[in-house]
Amino acid sequence: MKFITLVFVFLFTYSCAHKNASSEYELKIRQHRDAQNDFMKNSPDSPFNAKTKVDFHPLKFYDPDTNFIFRSRLFLYDEADSLLIYGTKGEPRKTWRIGFFTLNYNSVIHRLNLYKSISRSGKEYHGIWFTDETTGDETYGVGRYLDFEMSEDVNNLYTIDFNYAYNPYCSYSSEYSCAIPTKEDHLRFEVKAGEKIFHD
């Protein structure tokens, strides 16, 4: 009887801890999305207020889902692969494919590249640009993005969280041009996480 009681206490404690962690994570995601909406609605730099006036309504998102959080090593290429990608207005953009991640979804391994680019101000930045089986239906037809920060982790282990996936500015206004993800970066499953399509 004592053993059964101990097992029950352990399971109850684990369940509560897991529920609290999940609630904290969902709160973090919702706070992030509130900040996105606030920026889009009120900032003079947002696509709704900068180049042209586009009627704003709150961005649409999937519910937070921890099934779309992945942990992967970044496999760096021996040499960064310089290539041209294209914007939605047809302009070429030089970038570098520096490595890739492997994502295990439903026991199938998928590969996703990491890119390095240079901003107009000359600042280096890294990003993930992808399409998936929701693209053009529930999510923006060009694709979605994930910001990325390099770390000093000697094992090159990173968390890829698609709950932070967002639409590029061209999804809101035709005044903008955005990088088109390559065919290599199509995920052959539905990433029902992050931002949904803005214009119905």
pLDDT digits (tens, 9 = 90+) for 161-180: 999 999 999 999 999 999 99
Rounded to 5 degrees, what angle do the CA atoms 65, 130, 195 make? Answer: 40
* CA–CA gap between residue 104 and residue 122 (Å, rounded): 35
Distances in Å between the Cα of 166 and the Cα atoms of 46, 69, 127, 157 are 14, 15, 12, 22
Instruction: Determine the residue type at 133.
Output: E
Percentage helix, strand, coil, to 5, in the chain?
25, 35, 40
Q: Where are the alpha helices (DSSP H) in the chain?
A: 2-42
Q: What is the pLDDT of residues 70-106, one digit of tens each?
A: 999 999 998 888 999 999 999 999 999 999 999 999 9
| CA torsion angle 25 143 101 74 (round to 10) | -80
- The full set of domain ranges for the chain reads 56-185
Q: What pTM was computed for the model? A: 0.86
Question: pLDDT over 70 for what percent of the chain?
Answer: 88
> Residue 83: which H helix or E strand, with range?
strand 75-86
Contact 66, 25 (CB under 8 A): yes
Give 195's DSSP letter.
B
Band (144; pLDDT cuts 50, 70, 90):
very high
16-35, pLDDT tens digit by residue?
Answer: 444 456 789 999 999 999 99
